[in-house]
Amino acid sequence: MIRPTTIPQTTEDLLVEQAVAREALRLAFIHHQELATGLKGVQQQRDIGAALAQSEAGGTQVNLFDLGLIIGSGGVLSHAPRRHQAALMMVDAFLPVGVTMLAVDSIFMMPQLGVLSQQYPDIARQVFRRDCLIPLGPVIAPLGPVTDGEDVMTVRVEPADGNPVEVTVRGGELHRLPLARDAKARLTVRPARGLDLGEGKGKVIERAITGGVVGILLDGRGRPLQLPDDDTKRAERLRTWLEAAGAAGDAD
């Protein structure tokens, strides 16, 4: 937070603070990826399957497709007026790919629970699950570049209780579908040719998903994100994404 002992007084102040948080999270994640590298100059024993799957020695060991859950903690994320804002900050900063569940620390209590767990692990676990961790919902995002306006993926969501919904996401778009907290659904996604959701380029994926307070975010903005160079167009694009994610309204 820019001023940890105060809260933003205007919408502009809030957007600036959250923009700074995005960049801080992005740089911290890059630093983490640089630290999580394979050994250099050391002979590695592995079978042929591992050789094909393992990254080159010295490269990052962080596989974004394997990040099934991202938990955000810290003042800006925990105290965002809307949980949707926390979700969008995390997506913009970490750029998850495939199907990734998002969650947030409700009131920035995870550090304290870590201390509590040393003496009372069962109590800390219960508080963490019941009061600390707030599921925001899954984000679905293919890996690869996209072109504005062209089809990126077709998404079908079949809730356990409710009617199925099918949406075609195009390049540059961000969609949000409702799926209540703890609600179950079956997800089927068909990415466009050249885009990968974890099973290979153009291959359909099917997953069982659980909803959160934000719902389901369908991210068709591509990886990496592409923003217009023109200031006015860039501001319009960012405003469109805020509204699409439900992050532009008043506090929850």
Mean pLDDT of 179-183: 96
Please give the model's pTM, rounded to 2 decimal places: 0.85
Higher pLDDT, 44 or 233: 233
Q: For 38-53, what is each residue's pLDDT tens digit? A: 655 554 454 444 434 4
- Measuring CA to CA, which residue among 224, 240, 110 is closest to residue 175? 240
Polymer length in residues for the chain: 252
Mean pLDDT of 142-148: 94
Would you state the pLDDT for residue 60?
Answer: 63
Supply φ then ψ for residue 205, to 5 degrees: -120, 150
- In this structure, the strands spanning 216-219 and 174-177 are antiparallel
Would you state the pLDDT for residue 8?
Answer: 86
Query: What gap in Å lies between CA 111 and CA 229, rounded to an integer?
Result: 40
Would you state the pLDDT for residue 49?
Answer: 45
Q: For 57-114, what is each residue's pLDDT tens digit? A: 445 677 889 888 999 988 899 889 999 999 999 999 999 999 999 999 998 899 999 9
Would you state the pLDDT for residue 1?
Answer: 58
- Measuring CA to CA, which residue among 201, 172, 197 is closest to residue 187? 197
Query: What gap in Å lies between CA 50 and CA 30, rounded to an integer?
Result: 25
Q: For 200-221, what is each residue's pLDDT tens digit? A: 999 999 999 999 999 999 999 9
Q: For 3-36, what is each residue's pLDDT tens digit? A: 666 788 888 999 999 999 999 999 999 888 888 7
* pLDDT for 196 beyond 80: yes
List b or e across 35-71, with b for residues whose CB sees 16 or more CB atoms inside 10 angstroms.
eeeeeeeeeeeeeeeeeeeeeeeeebeeebeeeeebb
